[in-house]
Every structure is written in structure tokens, then in C-alpha cells.
Chain A
Amino acid sequence: MRLRARLALTVLAAAAPLLAGVAWLRGDLERRDADRALREFALVRMESGGRDRCEADPAFFAITASPLPRAPDVGGRPVVELGGGSSDLPAPLPPVPPEGGAPADVATGAATGPVTQLWAYADDLTSMNPRAPAPPDELVATLRSGGDAAGAAYVAAGGSGRQVLVRTPWRGGPCAFVFVRRIDPAPGEFASFPIWSAVALVAAMVGVVAFAAGSVVRRIRKLTADVGRSADQRYASPVDERGADEISDLARAFNAAGHEIRGHLDDMARREETLRTFLANTTHDVMTPLAVLQGHLSAMRKQAAEGRPADAETATAAVEEAHYLGSLVHNLSAVAKLDAGPRQVHLAPMRVDEVVQRVVERHWPLASPRAIEIECAVPEEPVWFDADVTLFEQAVSNVVGNAVRYNRAGGHVAVLLEEPSATEFSIRVIDDGPGVSDEALAKLGSREYRTDEARRRNPEGSGLGLDIARRVASFHRVKLSFRKSEYGGLEVEFRGVRSPAPRISAA
């Protein structure tokens, strides 16, 4: 309704000045017509004897004619012609006899229909006829400044009409100018404007607009309802977008926005789901080693309470378990990060040599109780690589962790950072443990592979380690390869292209 009212008001606001303009234009045309007719009338009358009569007796010259003269062929119409208030003038035009033979006056003419009156004036625009009215100043001014004729409205108590002051072609004598005035007794035809038809027209326009707006309003209402429904269904169903106008465009725009929102919602739901499974898995994965750790700690406390020294085996197992827990949590968060997509990965210049040293040092507490020797070597100069240091370090850590964990007591692990070519770096993790069978070796790089022996030997391993190493390596365009080490165990190599040293001054 609001839209309809607004449209109707708009139509009104547009129609009113338009109609007024048309009315004025029409009135103006009519006025011009009338003025021309009056001028023609005057000139014809003066030329056909009027001038002679006027010049002969200017003090009494005046013409009153009724009904309205139209066009130049005045002669073909019944015209009553009278002397200016006196009847002793000879009839100037042959076909027009004095009406009723009796003198008629202006008032009589005015009562029956329009009356036209004519007076003559000298060069200075004064009339010899004392009864002649003084022409309005504006007309006088126009003619003085060189005009041939000028018209104006005439309004008086008895009626209204037009009055025209005309310069005659002979331009001299007492009848150099004529002043014609036509008086309509009723409200002037010129001034009358068809108010009712205008009102009807405007009303019709408003009605048509309101009717036309009806369909627009209906469609907008429908679109509103559709949008509401779509929103209720979390933007699963699109709104009707048939058509080629702005409302259809609006519907399409809404569908596009709805599609996007839907995408975000799905994304959020997916992330929520990932988080939920992650949390569930994490809880499950963490609880087992935690329970083992608690068992070890409780055994050690019991030994202490009984005054016995804690046995080294239990203590070592506790250390291993705690170490495993730490790496498990890091692995789980690495998986979460990798699953979340590349935007969560933060690449920055990284010192590969420092990563190697950190990883090896982290494994000392794990290696030393089992008499496993773990050593590393890095070049003298820093080795730079653009990487997400957390992910990359975790990947290397998983491989080194395996080399320690799957090794036997007294075994060795060597981690070498080398520069095999001018552009490359290589991290080799070598052990002399039992290694893996040929077929297992072939599958090591593939996802979620875990050898059967390993499961039997160390059933709490989750199988995340190498999967993460593989994914991190491929993300960083680093080649990860597995081979048998020359010492019988496994050799794992990360090989990538070094980055130039960053331009930050190291402290």
C-alpha cells in the first residue's frame, strides 16, 4: 500500500504542473486567436467605411457589434452596428441593418451574448470621442515602442474578455489607432478551464498507476515472503527469479547472496564437524598413553613408598610415554592445521640447521635411557628454507622419532643436513635398527601405512607420523624418500630447494 500511495502521489505531483502547463498553453493560443480576430475585425471595419465615418465625425465615432465576430469574414454574419451611444449615424455596412431598427446599448448586448466595441484614437492615443475609454497603459506602451497591435485581458463587473489596441495602416488623423474590446457576459470562455475533465483525467491516471503498481506490489510481497521462507530453510532453496525486470534482478541478487551464505554455513558446519571428530579422536588418542603414563608413575610412587629405588625400566617407560604424548598432541594439531587448508600454514624463512638441532636434542631424553646414540651434523653456514617451521619441524621430528622408537637398545641414529648441490638441502635420517621389509619400504610414503610388526611391537603408535611428514613435505615441495640405510636400518631423506638468506639482521 505504501508503494502504491507513493506512486499515486508521484503521478499527482507530475500531472498537476503538466495540466496547468497545458491549460496555460491552450489559453495562450486562444488569447492569440482572439486577439488576431479582434484586430482583423477592427481593420476590416475601419477599411470598409469605418475610417471615413470616423474621420468625418470623430467625436461620436464608435462601433458596437454583437454577436462575436470571428475571422475576417465579418460581413457574412449578422452584426449590429451602432453609433457610439447615438443613433443618427448612417449604417456603414450594407448587409447589416440596425437590429430591431431601435438603438441597442451595450448593456443589452451584454445580457444576450458577447459584445464587441470599437473606438478610434488619434496619433497621441487620445480619442475625440469623450466616451471612449483610455486603453490600458501596457498596450499603449507596446504600441508606442513600435508594435502594430497589442492585446490584454479585460475584466469588469459586467463581464470579461479581451481588448486589443491596433495601429491602422494609414497612421494619421484622428483615427490612427483603434481599440477593440470584446466582452463576454458569462465567465469568459477563454478563462474557463475544464476543471472537471482535468480532475477526471488525473483520477484516471492515478487509478491506472495504482492498478499497474498492484502487480509490482504483489511481486515484491511475494519476493519478501520467498526470501523469508528461504532464510528459514537456511538458504537451501532459491527464490523464484523468473522474469527480466528489476524485481527479478533483485531475486537473482538475493539468490546469489543466499548461495554465498549457504556456502559459509556449510563451511562452518564442516569445520564444526572436523573439530568435533578431531576432539573425539584426540581425546581417544591421548587417553591411552596418558593411562599408561599414570600406571608408570603410580608404580614408581609405590616403589618409593616401599623404600625401594624406582626401577629404571618403569622410569624409562614413563619418559617414553610422556614424550610420545607430547609428540602426539603436536601431530594432532599439525593434522588440524593441514586439514584447515593452506591459509592456516604460515610460511617464513626458517633455519633448517636449527630445526635439525632442535629435533635431535628433543630426542635425547628418549634415546639416552635406551643407550641409543643420536647425533646430527649441520653445515657451518646457516641453511635457509621458506617453511612453516612448526609443521616442518614436526615432520622431521616424526621421522627422527621413528628412527629412535623402532631402534633397538644400543642402536644409532644419525641426522645429516647437507647441501648436495648448489641449490638444494637434504636432511637424511639414518638408523641401524631392524628397518623395514622391501614391500613395506615401497609403501612407507603412502597414507596411513603402518607395518604389522610395528603394530605388534608398539601397539600404541597412531600411524600419524609419516602421514604428516608426507603431507608437510609435499606442501613445501620437498621430496620425501625412503630407502634402506647402509647400516641395515632405514634411511629417510627430505630434499628441497634452499631459499636465499632473508635480509633481517640476526641479533
Chain B
Amino acid sequence: MANVTHRILLVEDDASLGRQIVKSMEEAGFEPTWLTDGDAAMRESPRAFALIVLDLMLPGAYGLDILKHIRAAGNSVPVLILSARNETRDKVRALELGADDFVTKPFFPEELIARIRARIRRPSLEAGGLVRAGGLEVDLAARSVKVDGETVELTRVEFDLLAALARRPGAAVARSWLADNVLDPDREGTERTLDVHVSRLRRKLGASGKCVATVWGVGYRLAEASE
């Protein structure tokens, strides 16, 4: 994912804020296009971008009109709304018009980048079938797991556990959720049983076992081995 450069359209009329956002987007490895004017944004083709960051208060076309325009054209590019008003009405309206998320001002650049990453990552997940993390390769459709190319035999519970993490790579999954959804409900599906399964799974995965990371207070996550 790191070697693909995503183009991002930023529509923000404030010069200082715009400059800062552009800088942090570039640092995060994105390729931003910055427009300060709503009417100019109306003329831009949304298809060229992986994501659009839209300020609500803009000179020219109002942010929501641009959103309406994009969605009316049948384009489903993720749209992230920036808003200073923190008004529920605006947010609800934006979501109704097809916005994907909103970030309320003030925000730290890290927060915005995190939001953008979360939105860009999502579609590749849904396409999913094959998930890679470190030397680990999980084929969700075929229900097979390879470590450094070698197939590893897993029990049903172990595979379901790994698959549950692999479906959302990088995201933590609660132990309670895993216990409820992965463990056999007939046999006591407690969280302690879950921990036992996880340690067995880790052992089977060998060096890639650390890809199944423990998340404090939460549960487990499929992480890049380098972490």
C-alpha cells in the first residue's frame, strides 16, 4: 500500500490551514491537489482522486453543494467533511448527502491523516480474499494460511480467529467479540479459552506469530511484523 500514491483533493479556503494540511498530506505520502474555491471544485473531476477533503464554508459553491454535485454524478469517491461549526444538523445533512466522515475543527494533522487512511484502506478490504502481514498470508476464501510460503495447518477455531483479525488488518478486535463469534458456543466460550487458542495459534505461526499482536485492554490485532 505504501508504494501507491493516492491523489487527494483538498477544498479549503483558509490559506494557512490549507498549507498545513497539504504539508502533512505530503509527509504522509499522499499527493494533494488544493483548491480554495467552491466553484473551481465543481469543475474538478472527482474521478481523478482517491479521496476528497471538503470544507463546508467555502466561497463560491457551498461545501454541501459540491458534495451533492459529486454524488449526483454517481461518483462514490470517499468524501471527508471539514467543519468548523460542529453543528449536528450540518453533519447529519452531510451524511445524508453521502459524505463518508467528518472532522471537526480544530484538529491535529495526525487526526486528519488517520481519518484519510481509514477511508482509503476500506475498499481494498472489501475486495479482500488475500491478506498479507509480515510473512503471513491469509487466504480468506480458501481458508488457508501460509507463513513464508509454507502452508500451516490450523484448527477451525484458530483459522476463524486469524480470519476475524485479517478481515480488518491493523484494527484491534475485542476479546469479547472474538469469544462470542469465533469460539464454539457449546463449549465454554470464555475469554480465557480464547487466550489459550491465541497462544496456540501464535506458536503454529512461528516467527510470524508476533503478527497476532495483543492490544492492551482490548484484544488482538493483525499487525505488520515490523511493528
Contact = CB atoms under 8 A, between A and B. Distances in A.
Contacts of B168: 380
A319 B98 contact: no
Contacts of A213: none
Contact of A348 (B92, B103, B216): B92
Contacts of B110: 364-365, 368
A326 interface: yes
Interface string B169-189: 001111011000000000000
Contacts of A412: 216-217
Contact of A375 (B92, B164, B215): B215
Nearest to A485: B217
Contact of A377 (B87, B104, B114, B177): B177
Interface string B91-121: 1100010101101101110110011001000
A181 B138 CA distance: 136
Contacts of A417: 174
A154 to B, nearest CB: 94
Contact of B108 (A319, A432, A504): A319
Interface size class of A (residues with CB under 8 A): 35 or more
Interface string B184-218: 00000000000000000000000000000001111
Contacts of A388: 88
Contacts of B86: 330, 333, 390
A414 B176 contact: no
B71 interface: yes
Given A319-B108, A364-B114, A375 B100 contact: no
A377 B111 contact: no
Q: Quick one: which of A354, A361, A373 has the most chain B CB within 10 A?
A: A361
Contacts of B164: 380
Contacts of B100: 507
Interface string A5-19: 000000000000000
A373 B174 contact: no
A390 to B, nearest CB: 4
Given A414-B216, A418-B177, A507 B98 contact: yes
A74 B8 CA distance: 128
Interface in A448-507: 487, 504, 507
A357 interface: yes
Interface in A324-382: 325-326, 330, 333, 345-346, 348, 354, 357-358, 361-362, 364-365, 368, 373, 375-380
A379 B177 contact: yes
Given A358-B115, A378-B174, 18 more contacts: A322-B106, A361-B115, A362-B107, A368-B110, A375-B172, A375-B215, A375-B216, A377-B172, A377-B215, A379-B174, A379-B177, A380-B177, A388-B88, A389-B88, A412-B217, A413-B217, A416-B176, A507-B76
